[in-house]
Amino acid sequence: MYQHYARPGQDADGEEPGHAVAILSVQGSAPGVHIVDVNTDYQRLWGGSREEWLGAAPIIVQQEAANRQIFDQLHDALNPLLNDAESFFEGIGGLEVNRRHDGSRRYVEWRITAMGVRHNDTITLVLTQRNVTEQMEKEAQLERLATTDMLTGLVNRAQFDAVLKSEVNRQHRYARPLSLIMLDLDYFKQINDRHGHDVGDQVLVALADLLKCTLRKADCCARWGGEEFMLLAPETSLEQAVRLANKIRDAIKHTAFPIQGSVTASFGVVEVHSQDSVKSLMERVDNALYLAKEEGRDQVSTGGLLPSAKQA
């Protein structure tokens, strides 16, 4: 009898298993689920020969503890059918993520359904397992394309709009501190004019990398458009957001960007109020950024709610 637990593999030719099928048998008088037959893809998925699998307990997922939990779930779902031949078994299923030998992920979708009707004291089931890795990876790629700025790898404007709306609604419900920071690179047009748009793009990418390293995990950072960026800081008061903005402003000023000379940025910072709509919040942060530009750039402005700040 084949013993648990084989590691999901692939054929010698490198081809991934496709649609694995195992025919299972459950007897009301005897606990346990046993294999009656398996197809070639099941053998390729879990290893072993058909003869080794006959009479063995099936592998549904790679992790043994999870496999036992599925057996318990299956028995609970089958109990009505074991006690009443007129009952109906709708089936159970799920999606497992496991690791290939090279460390990459593989997604296996599985489902167990009844095959025909109960015969005497025996229920025949069909276990199907399908490799959906390519489908999942394509879906993940489409999601990244829909939510990510392709140049910088940051969240794009559309996704940030959705996150901002959600966080503002949460602030209205729970009255937790939430701040918004808008930053704009100073004289960015001159960088493009003097050094070309390729260098300008390199500056934007370097700035995005700096932001990723500087911000906290809870913060959401997006490229808003051109050389403008948005930072949403949950659980952050206005004073804390000003300190964060100055930390970023100072880091930008002292970073060696891919051009000669330093790069600076101006910041507008606001805290969300209970009466704020997304529109009013955006107007306030945009006005704060405008004041930072008017006050000489390389500034952090709160729109007059707190003294504007500038570090040497």
Question: Is 16 known to be catalytic?
Answer: no
Strand ranges (DSSP E) for the chain? 19-27, 30-38, 92-99, 105-114, 122-131, 178-185, 220-225, 228-234, 265-271, 300-301
DSSP letter (8 states) at residue 122: E
Of 51, 52, 109, 227, which residue is the catalytic one? 227
For residue 2, give the DSSP letter.
Answer: P
Q: How far apart are CA 205 and CA 102, in angstroms?
A: 30
Strand-pairing partners, residue 268, are 182, 301
Cα(84)–Cα(28) distance, integer angstroms: 11
User: Is residue 234 exposed (0-12), middle (13-18) or buried (19+ Cβ within 10 Å)?
Assistant: middle
Give the number of other CB atoms < 10 A from CB of residue 24. Answer: 21
Residues 230, 235: Cα–Cα separation, whole Å = 16
Q: Which residues are catalytic?
A: 227
